[in-house]
Chains A and B, each alone.
Chain A
Amino acid sequence: MSRRVLPGFRLSLGFTFAYLTVMVVIPLAACVAKAATLTPSEFLAAVWTPRARAAYVLTVGASLASAVVNVLLGVLLAWVLVRYRFPLKRLFDAIIDLPFALPTAVAGLVYSSLHVENGWLGQFLVPHGIELAYTRAAIVLVLVFIGLPFVVRTLQPVLESVEHEVEEAAAMLGASRWQTFTRVILPMLLPAIITGFALAFARSLGEYGSVVFVSGNMPFRTEIASRLVVDRLEEFEYAQATAIAVVLLAISFSTLIAINLLERWSQRTYV
């Protein structure tokens, strides 16, 4: 574009670079440098303990599970909010964004107190053997809350842009409502669903504040990878903590790249 005409290219780019270097690149480099003080075998020993593996599996697994739930819930919510009219609809629409605005520690605090035996929901659930406090299910539940807006908000604009002619045409061609939904509308929503899924998943991977409140932090059972980093820190095992952090970085970084690719792919394939 007009590089020479518009002013401020050097200034803005220079400032951006300087800021990113100080805020992101140097800290990251410190992280990697610290982890590099371990020999490869030490590094492997630090990041590949059975406890660490269990934590990765839980972190990724719980994030996947919550993202799947969020897709189902997100399709439902987006559909209802775009297609139907009902009382207080705008209120319900607005509160979907609450998980964005709410400090995650508060979310964790409330969720952990809701599902214990004498909590608001726990008093009905626990007698039926549904124990949601301090289990893996509790982690998934709070992650569903945290990721709730992603799928809904990516789907809404797409669903709104589906012109009624598409459905009319489908109906004309003899499709039932269910067929229209599964074979016409759903495929149109697919790119947005994938993006929403990826966003919710990525968000869950990094979540800490709420999860430490609701999970029991039991090694091998309910300990997420971020928590393991803190644990290692508190045991004065700096290099090991950093090594696990680097693995986490690698996981999140590849997720980020995957999201960008997905976004590009879905932009290209869908219109």
Chain B
Amino acid sequence: MTRIHLACVAAALVLAGLSGCSSEAGNSNSPAIELLNVSYDPTRELWKAINYAFTAKHEKEAGQALNIRVTHAGSSSQARSVIEGLEADVVTLAMWTDTDAVARAGLIDAGWESELPNNALPYSSTIVFVVRKGNPKQIQDWPDLLKQGVEIITPNPKTSGNGKLSFLAAWGAALDRGGSEADALAYVTELFKHVPVLDSGARAATVTFAQKKIGDVHLTWENEARLEVQEAQGELEIVYPSASILAEPLVAVVDANVKRHGTADIAREYLEFLYTEEAQEIIARNYYRPSKEAILAKHKEDFPEIRLFRISAVAKDWADAHARYFAEGAVFDKISEGSRGEQ
């Protein structure tokens, strides 16, 4: 009896080991160059398409296999990982401040914005609303968010680019309506009282809204909103507010890492590829606003005209916006303290 049981355990372990070996054999013997792209949350589909195109192109032109991996999470968490030693070759984060944090850790050379065309900005985006089918709460623009009983889903501004942008968009829209700083503060304070869940990243917030069906309106990236509506098959609708923020997800090569990996050229080539017609087309098809005017014009019906204000409307620049609104003890902290205990 004893032996039989032991044999069973042993057999199970061996089997487990074997199945592991066989699966490893499948993906270990490729001598491809590896690139690691550390990106933010809702760019999965975009990078999948871009990587597919770039890998094919590179293999055809250079005759060399290329394996690009992408990691996704809240933008600030991603920056933290890179700073702690995650071997990113390129960072394609949501916020200037996050890329800047990586640069300040000495991993990206100064002046990185001017290394690539259009100030290292291959595409832009904005924050829009997603509502339930038929828009039952009649949400058309920013003021409607504060209606009685409206629950708003947006991720945590502390950890997520989406969260920061939602905050800044709401703030800027209040100013845009002709309000004062105090009005904007009052508006945003009230707005966050309507938020029942603060997810750590954009995608988690989408899952909360679309799949778990929490909340009435979801403030999210334009591209994420389009994808979300598409996935929901008629259950959700997109609403464009009259004004929103111009989001600038910059891209950069992580100089310190590519030097060690010997991937400086290919990493640069990869990011420059984003500005080609082919990539810009892919970008547009994934609902990011391409930086090339011609491609943007071609997809005009996909990107409704709304007033897009720059970061300069709410702060001096992205760094100032971070210090003013999201740093420890800044506006967002005060707001969350104010709303505490209101369950």
Contact = CB atoms under 8 A, between A and B. Distances in A.
Interface in B301-343: 328, 333, 336-337, 339-341, 343
Interface stretch (B171-179, B194-202, B242-250, B268-276): B194-202
B213 A218 contact: no
A51 interface: yes
Nearest to A126: B213
A237 B326 CA distance: 13
B223 interface: no
A39 to B, nearest CB: 16
A14 interface: no
Contacts of A113: 212
A132 to B, nearest CB: 12
A133 interface: yes
A235 B76 contact: yes
B199 A231 contact: no
Contacts of B200: 217, 230-231, 234
B214 interface: yes
B83 interface: yes
A interface, size bucket: 20 to 34
Contacts of B197: 134, 216-218, 222
Contacts of B341: 220
Given A217-B198, A218-B195, A234 B336 contact: no
Contacts of A220: 336-337, 339-341
A237 B80 CA distance: 10
Contacts, number: 73
A118 interface: yes
Interface string B259-292: 0000000000000000000000000000000000
A235 to B, nearest CB: 6
B74 A216 contact: no
B37 interface: no
A218 B76 CA distance: 18
A234 B80 contact: yes
Contact of B158 (A112, A117, A133, A234): A234
Given A220-B340, A234-B80, A51 B333 contact: yes
A157 interface: no
A219 B195 CA distance: 11
A236 B198 CA distance: 19
B224 to A, nearest CB: 19
B interface, size bucket: 20 to 34
B212 A234 contact: no
Contact of B80 (A50, A217, A236, A240): A236
Interface string B228-254: 000000000000000000000000000
A234 B214 contact: no
Contact of A236 (B101, B208, B343): B101
A54 B342 CA distance: 12
A112 B80 contact: no
Nearest to B326: A235
A170 interface: no
Interface string A89-122: 0000000000000000000000011001110000
A133 B337 CA distance: 23
A236 B83 contact: yes
A162 interface: no
Contacts of A116: 212-214
B337 A51 contact: yes
B99 interface: no
Contacts of B158: 231, 234-235
B89 to A, nearest CB: 21
B156 interface: yes
A233 interface: yes
18 contacts: A51-B333, A51-B336, A51-B337, A116-B214, A117-B212, A134-B196, A134-B208, A135-B343, A218-B198, A219-B198, A219-B336, A220-B336, A220-B337, A231-B156, A234-B76, A234-B80, A234-B200, A235-B159
Interface of A: 50-51, 54, 112-113, 116-118, 133-136, 216-222, 230-231, 233-237, 240
